[in-house]
Amino acid sequence: MELDLGLTTRSRVRLVRQTEVAECGLASLTMIANYHGLDIDLGTMRRRYSPSLRGAPLRALINLADQIGLTPRAVKLPLEELGNLHMPAVLHWDMNHYVVLEAVKGGKALIHNPDGRSRWMPLPEVSEHFTGVALELRPSSDFDRKSLRERLNLSQLWQSMTGLKRSLAQILLLSLVLQAFVLASPYYMQVAIDSALPALDNDLLTVLALGFGLFTVINVMASLLRSFVLLNAGTSIGFSLASNIARRLFRLPVEWFEKRHTGDVLSRFQSITPIQSLLTQGAVAALVDGVMALLTLAVMFYYSPMLAFIAIVAFGLYALVRAISFSFQREAQEASIITKGKEQSTLIETVRGMVTLRLFGREALRHALWQTRLTDAVNSNVRLARIGIWQSTANMLIFGIENIITIWLAVGFVIDGAGFSVGMVFAYIAYKGQFISKSAALIDQAIAFKMLGLHLERLSDIALSPEDRSFQPGTDAVTELKGKIEMRNIFYRYSSSDPMVLQGVSLTIEQGEHVAITGPSGGGKSTLLKVMLGLVEPESGEVLIDGIPLHRFGYKSFHSQTAAVLQEDSLFAGSLADNIALFDDEIDMERVISAATAASIHDDIIQMPMQYETLIGDMGSTLSGGQKQRVILARALYRQPKILFMDEGTAHLDARHERKVNEAISAMGITRVIIAHRKETIEAADRTLVMMGGAMAEWHGEGA
């Protein structure tokens, strides 16, 4: 028996598509929470209950469900008993995924896949994916039906834009001038037919032609000015909008980028385009179309209330069709955007990994994977296009029948002598055509504004995600760095459902000390370095710089006086000098050469055709592994840091180059923290620490 909590539930589950790499479980919980009456979106869920990069085990889902007020019950059952589950329920899928089961009927199951789409699947096909584990979720007594959505409002985007109101006012004024011509044109036809033609009055016809000809010139000039204003306003607003969103994007924490595909981030950024279009053209068009529809409708009622009523009925039917099809259109539009992002991500990854694919002979398999992603994108576009076809077909049918009825009645009025002239028929048909086109355009604009919620929802993942801690107010002051680092009882894990990666790590590194950290792979060394750098925040514990907590010392201040060479570092398209100075406005070539010499890459560079102006390929593809690593090291030394962090920073160097690099850096007398496995690198350090299983210990011998 189900517990009746007086909640308003949805009649069906609405698909929520995952954004991050491993948040299918969170998306599934969001679907079921929405179904039971908790209005929350995936972005809000993610910000409140951050998922793990490595996925969520069933235990983590149970804990999350309990936090939002759902009573979980994990069950193991055969496929034949799937229909006995309390639905909607979460199914464990393909050993590494979660989906939502809404219903089982006629040998088929309605599956909502966060990584795909909703569809009825035959049970034999379900059997190929279902692992036999399911999670039932019921509202508990403290389940709170409310709205927790954090929405990005359109007003938040245009608040910082200058000149928007002025541009919109200009566009509106010019649009009204254009519409005045449209409103007057049918009357020209009526006067010409009803007055000039029966009287064979050439003078009247000439005067009418000259008057409306002048009106046409004014109309053309207004159209030209409006086009230029739209161009300038669209360019300015588009630039401001893109710049503001990009600024926010570049200030997000490192973990935000690690959890998302590149293609998905790009597709979210591209949601700026429809917003820009609606801000510059859609808003004005909607207002003008609304005014024109009302004016032409008033004129139509003046000609014939009966004929005007028929047009209103047709307009109402068209509006009903668009309203009914909106949810399908929105879902298809969302699927199209997401599948296109996945296809782009696969293509980008394939291009970047072409050397690996070539060596392993996996081009055909990768092509097949990309084709699968492309097929999904094409199918999504086809579904969207089908909805558009049905809408246009309904449009043609409704207004086609309306046009036939209108002409039949209007001509009948003329024949019956009911006060309708031939010129009035032509004028009314023209006005009616304007009403239909403007009212239909108004509906289209209303749907476009409604659809804007989809794009704002996608942009909200960028705009509403909290900025990195280093950009918080009051973190810009520069504190002189000496070089001492202290970590006190540091605990860290990727999410609340993951085991601890760092377990109570405490260490002190004195000013000018050279410390090597070694240990087996996966022991937490790179994570420790990121915590030390302030790139990630520990769950508990404290990092002190020169005896001052890092957040008080200032992340920007700390980063400006330190340098790091990490495993995932890359070069950028440009010259070698640009990369070493990291595109400084005014490059100090003496420092560039000095840093390159210390990194033992200077001799290699001067042998190149253009020396320091030599251009490198994408991500340094024209350099060898050792050369690339030495250029990255030179980039770090160019900053003249007080502390240098290195994560396998000399792993690609031969013994001679590594010795020269160590001697040059040692002569600087700066604090060095390195992660290494090579014996020579470890022996060069003043002290060696071992990380194993998230714990730190002193190294007392070989073989660690």
The residues annotated with a catalytic role in the active site are: 24
Tokens for 542, please give them.
Answer: 């404290």
Tokens for 206, please give them.
Answer: 């000439």
Q: Measure the CA–CA gap between 266 and 152, rounded to whole angstroms.
A: 18
Quick one: which of 560, 596, 557 has its CA closest to 576? 596
Q: Measure the CA–CA gap between 298 and 428, rounded to whole angstroms.
A: 11
Q: Is 612 exposed, middle or buried (0-12, 13-18, 19+ CB in 10 A)?
A: buried
Q: Measure the CA–CA gap between 179 and 431, rounded to whole angstroms.
A: 12
Neighbouring C-alpha atoms within 13 Å toward the C-beta of 536:
22
268 sits in which H/E element: helix 262-269
107 phi and psi angles, rounded to 5 deg: 75, 15
Q: Measure the CA–CA gap between 526 and 674, rounded to whole angstroms.
A: 10
DSSP state of 701: S
Q: Which residues contact 686 (CB under 8 A, 6 or more apart)?
A: 513, 514, 515
C-alpha angle 54-58-60 in degrees, rounded to nearest 5: 65
Q: Measure the CA–CA gap between 12 and 597, rounded to whole angstroms.
A: 67
Q: Are 153 and 86 in contact (CB under 8 A)?
A: no
Tokens for 63, please give them.
Answer: 């804990």
Q: Are 671 and 512 in contact (CB under 8 A)?
A: yes
Distances, alpha carbon 581 to alpha carbons 466, 618, 635, 643, in Å: 30, 17, 6, 18
Q: Measure the CA–CA gap between 187 and 477, rounded to whole angstroms.
A: 71
DSSP state of 52: P
Q: Measure the CA–CA gap between 650 and 628, rounded to whole angstroms.
A: 11
Q: Measure the CA–CA gap between 698 and 481, rounded to whole angstroms.
A: 26
DSSP state of 692: E
Distance of CA 639 to the CA centre of its chain: 33
Q: Are 296 and 315 in contact (CB under 8 A)?
A: no
DSSP state of 55: -
Beta-bridge partner residues of 147: 39
Q: Measure the CA–CA gap between 495 and 435, rounded to whole angstroms.
A: 57
